[in-house]
Structure 1
């Protein structure tokens, strides 16, 4: 094992430990996609079927046990912990992840190292891992929650895949006859999904743009409960207000710029559905959901529920 693979394993481990730390210490799984975590649990369960058959090294066995245990622990926390499960964004985590299983399984039946149960399951796990992050990326897009622990978690997973690709390149030039097309192509596909996250992660303190996964969302993401109730399909890039505006034709988006941040607000002075009150006391002095509230002089029942 070379240093590149070790760095990849440590990046992967750091991301998982960071996520468990967030869930356990904060008693919250807000921003975490249960769909992605379930896919990862399935990835490790099908990949490490050989844990009871082959012994490669103590390091290899320990890492397999860690990733199996942590992946199922995260799923258990989100599904069954009486405190943590209350913070799960069920209405936003609507990616149809079960649509990914059959194509990966069929591909594993056709393209594999050997047509045995263990090898087909291994190939299935490789194909599934390449796209398992999709629900998390879509959830990041919908909530714009790419900062702090969630952003670091996604970044570390991307770093893990990048180091593994560098490891394969190194082995290709140093080990005779090293060829592994299944992992190479799957790894490149997975890394391409992280490319937008890498770019956005490094600029997160200066930009508030929405991640570009619109096509993925349209194909796989069913409308959230919030979207269905409001009758909307899109959200403003900056303040999180729905578009088109529920206020009707008389309430349209105007665009104002503040540095690199484009903020959209309605010409009527309200932040659309963020501020359902139409009174003149609405605070609209800045961009972002923090400003979607009513002033101190407003006493209506609607305003009382959002202040």
Structure 2
């Protein structure tokens, strides 16, 4: 067993588990792209359709079933149980273009022109573009997100380990899979942009039902190229805008109606001290 493939599969399953836990913990699916999760579900169905047709190993069957169940469980949570962020026209267009491009790619580039191989090539091509609607959602909205750094770390580990898996297979088995390598490089670049958007923009996040970490917003270079325009984002509330002394408080009272009278507090300097 290739250790990098095993660890990569574990990291991928861990990413799904972290996402599910985060949704349940926050009782919300805000900031998560339904389109991205639906595309992942389609990827797993297309790639692991053979799980019902042939048995390879217990490991192979267990992981394939886990991928499919976790993907549709997330979709169920987002569709029927917890609130999710509605996605704009750009995200839907990106998803449609990604589906069409993956279909065309699978017909042109495959190792054998049969149903199983075409679906496998389709799943590899589509997986490389699955994160694009999520990137667009993070760029275009200011809603809080339940995506965590642990989820990004698990996804990043999954891609890094699969890069090592390709190197391992080339060195030990002299095997190179051009379709998987090319699509994997594209997917890795998009994941890096996803991490850049998340960390540099520091989205307003949900943690335990509370809003935290509202900071300045930026955007990734791939999404900038895809969208071609700046996003209209709300400026976060700065700590400096909160009155901190008496002068600021008095300045804030200027906007009161003219019929409101301000009274100074009574001078109780000579009053007897209150009993203890």
TM-score band, normalised by shorter chain: 0.7 to 0.9
Q: Which of 118, 121, 126 matches 1:120? A: 118
Q: Which residue of 2 aligns with 1:140?
A: 138
Q: Which of 172, 193, 196 matches 1:196? A: 193
In the TM superposition, what whole-angstrom CA distance separates every residue of 1:216-259 from its partner, at most 9, and x where no partner exists?
A: 2349xxxxxxxxxxxxx6325xxx24xxxxxxxxxxxxxxxxxx
- Aligned length, in residue pairs: 232
How far the C-alpha of 1:5 sits from its partner, in A, is 1.4
How far the C-alpha of 1:78 sits from its partner, in A, is 0.8
Q: When the two structures are superposed, what TM-score results if normalisation uses the length of structure 2?
A: 0.74
Could you tell me which runs of 5 or more consecutive residues in structure 2 were left unpaired when the two chains were aligned. 203-212, 243-251, 258-276
Q: Which residue of 2 aligns with 1:64?
A: 64
How far the C-alpha of 1:141 sits from its partner, in A, is 2.2
Cα 1:296/1:123, change in 2 over 3 Å: farther
Could you tell me which runs of 5 or more consecutive residues in structure 1 were left unpaired when the two chains were aligned. 220-232, 242-262, 264-270, 272-281, 287-294, 301-307
Q: Which residue of 1 aligns with 2:30?
A: 30
Q: Which residue of 1 aligns with 2:79?
A: 79
How far the C-alpha of 1:154 sits from its partner, in A, is 3.2
2:155 is the counterpart of 1:157: yes
How far the C-alpha of 1:61 sits from its partner, in A, is 0.4
Cα 1:114/1:284, change in 2 over 3 Å: same
Cα 1:35/1:148, change in 2 over 3 Å: closer
CA-based RMSD of the aligned residues comes to: 3.1
Q: Secondary structure at the match of 2:219?
A: coil
2:225 is the counterpart of 1:215: yes
CA distance in 2, matches of 1:61, 1:114: 23
Asked if structure 2 preserves the Cα contact closer than 8 Å seen for 1:127 and 1:186, the reply is: yes
Q: Which residue of 2 aligns with 1:90?
A: 86
Q: Which residue of 1 aligns with 2:167?
A: 169
Q: Which residue of 2 aligns with 1:253?
A: none
More strand by share: 1
Asked if structure 2 preserves the Cα contact closer than 8 Å seen for 1:131 and 1:190, the reply is: yes
Q: Larger radius of gyration, structure 1 or 2?
A: 2
Cα 1:172/1:90, change in 2 over 3 Å: same
CA distance in 2, matches of 1:2, 1:164: 10
CA distance in 1, matches of 2:111, 2:8: 23
Q: Which residue of 2 aligns with 1:11?
A: 11
CA distance in 1, matches of 2:253, 2:42: 51
Q: Secondary structure at the match of 1:234?
A: coil
How far the C-alpha of 1:79 sits from its partner, in A, is 1.1
Q: Secondary structure at the match of 2:48?
A: helix
In the TM superposition, what whole-angstrom CA distance separates every residue of 1:142-166 from its partner, at most 9, and x where no partner exists?
A: 3467987434323322321121011
Greater length-normalized contact order (CA 8 Å, ≥ 6 residues apart): 2
Cα 1:297/1:136, change in 2 over 3 Å: farther
Q: When the two structures are superposed, what TM-score results if normalisation uses the length of structure 1?
A: 0.67
